[in-house]
């Protein structure tokens, strides 16, 4: 019901605008402009009178609910992306320090957890190495710099050729 009325109002606006541009300046144009304005006001009043306000309120409530869902989903995704960034940066840091410690790492996986302070902090690391060389030095460096204690570091020493 509302869509046809809106189309009629839009079409009337276009018609009135075209008619007013064709009229010469002066009294005729002012009278036509006044008549067109009155007609449009009456059309809007008719639209408002025929509008189903209960359906409008329901639609508005549904829109607000969808916006709230979208906002909470966005917040969760943002937090998940922050967690992934922290984990990847810690993994890159460990790989870089492994080179400094002469510890041949093949792969590093870091898991971050949400802290009471409202930050993602690295909590656990799984390290795949091909030898035990430099392990103790790198382990203490990870504990000192990233706060991942030795009990939360899982070292997997793979034999060469695996």
**CB contact at 8 A, 158 and 106:** yes
Count of residues for the chain? 162
pLDDT tens-digit map of 111-136: 999 988 888 999 999 999 888 888 89
pLDDT digits (tens, 9 = 90+) for 69-122: 888 888 889 889 999 999 999 999 999 999 888 888 899 999 999 988 888 999
CATH class entry, domain 80-157: alpha beta
Of 94, 124, 123, the C-alpha closest to 108 is 94
Domain residue ranges in the chain: 2-51, 80-157
What DSSP character marks residue 148?
-
Could you tell me the pTM of the whole model? 0.58
Percent of the chain with pLDDT over 90: 42
Separation CA 160–CA 91 (nearest Å) = 23
Count of H helices and E strands in the chain?
Answer: 4, 3
What is the end-to-end Cα distance of the chain in Å, rounded? 72
What would the two tokens of residue 101 be?
Answer: 């410690």
Helix, strand or coil, per DSSP, at residue 27: helix
């Amino acid at each position: 019901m509302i869509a046809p009325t809106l189309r009629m109002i839009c079409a009337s606006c276009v018609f009135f605008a075209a008619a007013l541009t064709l009229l010469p300046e002066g009294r005729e144009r002012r009278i036509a402009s006044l008549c067109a304005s009155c007609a449009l006001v009456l059309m809007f009043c008719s639209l408002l009178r025929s509008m189903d306000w209960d359906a409008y309120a329901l639609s508005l409530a549904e829109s607000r609910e969808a916006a709230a869902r979208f906002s909470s989903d966005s917040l969760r995704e943002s937090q998940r992306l922050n967690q992934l960034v922290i984990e990847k940066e810690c993994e890159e840091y460990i790989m870089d320090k492994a080179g400094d410690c002469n510890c041949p790492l093949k792969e590093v996986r870091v898991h971050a957890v949400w802290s009471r302070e409202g930050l993602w902090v690295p909590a656990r690391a799984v390290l795949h190495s091909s030898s035990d060389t430099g392990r103790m030095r790198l382990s203490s460096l990870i504990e000192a710099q990233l706060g991942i204690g030795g009990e939360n570091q899982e070292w997997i020493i793979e034999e060469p050729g695996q």
